[in-house]
Copies of this chain bind each other. A is one copy, B any other.
C-alpha cells in the first residue's frame, strides 16, 4: 500500500491521492509511505522518484546494516525496528529517503512508529512539520522502542541474580545463554544506529538537521546509553556465569569430600570384617573369648581416628 500526505503551496493538507497522478511541484513538501508494498508499487521508487538503483536494492533485500548514503537530491537512511519474541530478537528494516521537500518511508512489515507519526501529522498544526521533523519524530520512536527490550533483559538478569540458589542451574544457564545471544544481536543494531546518528550530527551535508541539532543529539544520547547498557549487561552475564561455575566446582569439591570420607572410613572396616568372615579352619582369633569385642573396639578406634583426621584437615568446613 502507498500512502500520501502533501502540503500544497497554499498550505492545505491533501491525502489519499494516488501516487501515479500527483504533480509534485504543487506541494511545499510531501510524505509518501510504502507500507508492505507490492512488487508493482515498489517500481514507483525507480519510475516516479528516480531513486538510485543501489538504494532501491537496499530497500528490497532484507536486513541491511543501519547506515546513511548521500545522493544528489536526497539522503537514504536504513534503520532497524526491533522487537523481542520468545527470547529472540526480531529485526525489521525501515528505510527513509529524505530530501528538501519530501520524505519517502519504506517498510516490508507494518510499522507502529510510522503509523503514529502519520496520525500526528494529520491531526496537528501542519506548519510545525517538515520532512526532517517527520524523520526525527519517527527515528525517536524507533529508538524509544529499543528500551523496553533492554529493560526486560535487565529485569530477567536481576531475577537470575536473586534466584541464584533456588532454581535449577540448567535452566538459568540456558536463560543466560539466550540473554547473551539477544544482547549480541541487539548490539549489531544499536551500534550502527549510534554511528548513523554520529554521522548525522557531524555531517556537513545535512544543514537541515544541523538546525535541529539538539533533537538528533537527544536520540544520540539514547543510543549511547543503550550501547553502554548492552556492553555492561554482557559483562554482567559473563560474571553471573563465572559465578555459577565457581559455585558448581566448589560444590563438586564438597561432594567429593563426603564421598572420600565415607569410603575412607568404611573401606578398611569392611575389609577387617571380611577377614574374620573367612572360613579358614585355623584362625586363632576366632576362638578367643573377646576376639569379637576386640575387633569391634579396633574398628571403632579406626573409624573415629579417620574421622578426626579428616576433621583436622578441614574437610568438614
Tell me the residues in window 162-191 of chain A with beta carbons closer than 8 Å to chain B beta carbons: 168-170, 173-174, 177, 180-181, 184-185, 188
Tell me the residues in window 202-248 of chain A with beta carbons closer than 8 Å to chain B beta carbons: 214-215, 217-218, 221, 224-225, 228, 232, 235-236, 239-248
Q: A-B pairs with the 9 shortest C-beta distances?
A: A273-B274, A276-B278, A280-B292, A266-B267, A259-B260, A277-B277, A177-B243, A255-B256, A283-B292
* A152 proximal to B (CB < 8 A): no
- A31 CB, nearest partner CB in chain B, Å: 24
* A19 proximal to B (CB < 8 A): no
Cβ contacts under 8 Å, A286 to chain B: 279-281
Closest B residue, CB atoms, query A170: B250
The quantity of this chain's copies bound in the complex is 5
Interface residue tally on A, bucketed by range: 35 or more
Among A36-44, A64-72, A93-101, the one that faces the other chain is A64-72
Cβ contacts under 8 Å, A252 to chain B: 249, 252-253, 256
Partner of A239, one of B177, B245, B275: B177
Determine whether the beta carbon of A262 is less than 8 Å from that of B260: yes
* A269 proximal to B (CB < 8 A): yes
Query: 13 A-B contacts, Cβ less than 8 Å apart?
Result: A54-B217, A65-B221, A65-B228, A69-B214, A252-B253, A259-B260, A263-B267, A275-B299, A277-B278, A277-B279, A278-B292, A280-B295, A281-B286
Partner of A224, one of B65, B185, B221, B235: B65
- A289 CB, nearest partner CB in chain B, Å: 6
Alpha-carbon gap, A184 to B275, bound state (A): 60
Alpha-carbon gap, A139 to B91, bound state (A): 29
- A119 CB, nearest partner CB in chain B, Å: 21
Interface of A is mostly: helix
Cβ contacts under 8 Å, A215 to chain B: 54
Question: Chain A: residues with CB nearer than 8 A to chain B?
Answer: 52, 54, 57-58, 64-65, 67, 69, 71, 168-170, 173-174, 177, 180-181, 184-185, 188, 192, 214-215, 217-218, 221, 224-225, 228, 232, 235-236, 239-253, 255-260, 262-271, 273-283, 285-292, 295-296, 299, 315, 317
Closest B residue, CB atoms, query A290: B282
Cβ contacts under 8 Å, A174 to chain B: 243
Given contacts A69-B217, A252-B252, 7 further A-B contacts (CB under 8 A): A57-B218, A65-B224, A184-B239, A249-B252, A255-B315, A275-B296, A278-B279
**Given A65-B221, A65-B225, A236-B181, are A279 and B281 also a contact pair (CB < 8 Å)?**
no
Determine whether the beta carbon of B273 is less than 8 Å from that of A239: no
Cβ contacts under 8 Å, A180 to chain B: 239
Alpha-carbon gap, A239 to B176, bound state (A): 10
Closest B residue, CB atoms, query A52: B214
**Given A173-B250, A181-B236, A251-B253, are A273 and B262 also a contact pair (CB < 8 Å)?**
no
Cβ contacts under 8 Å, A235 to chain B: 184
- A106 CB, nearest partner CB in chain B, Å: 17
Cβ contacts under 8 Å, A289 to chain B: 282
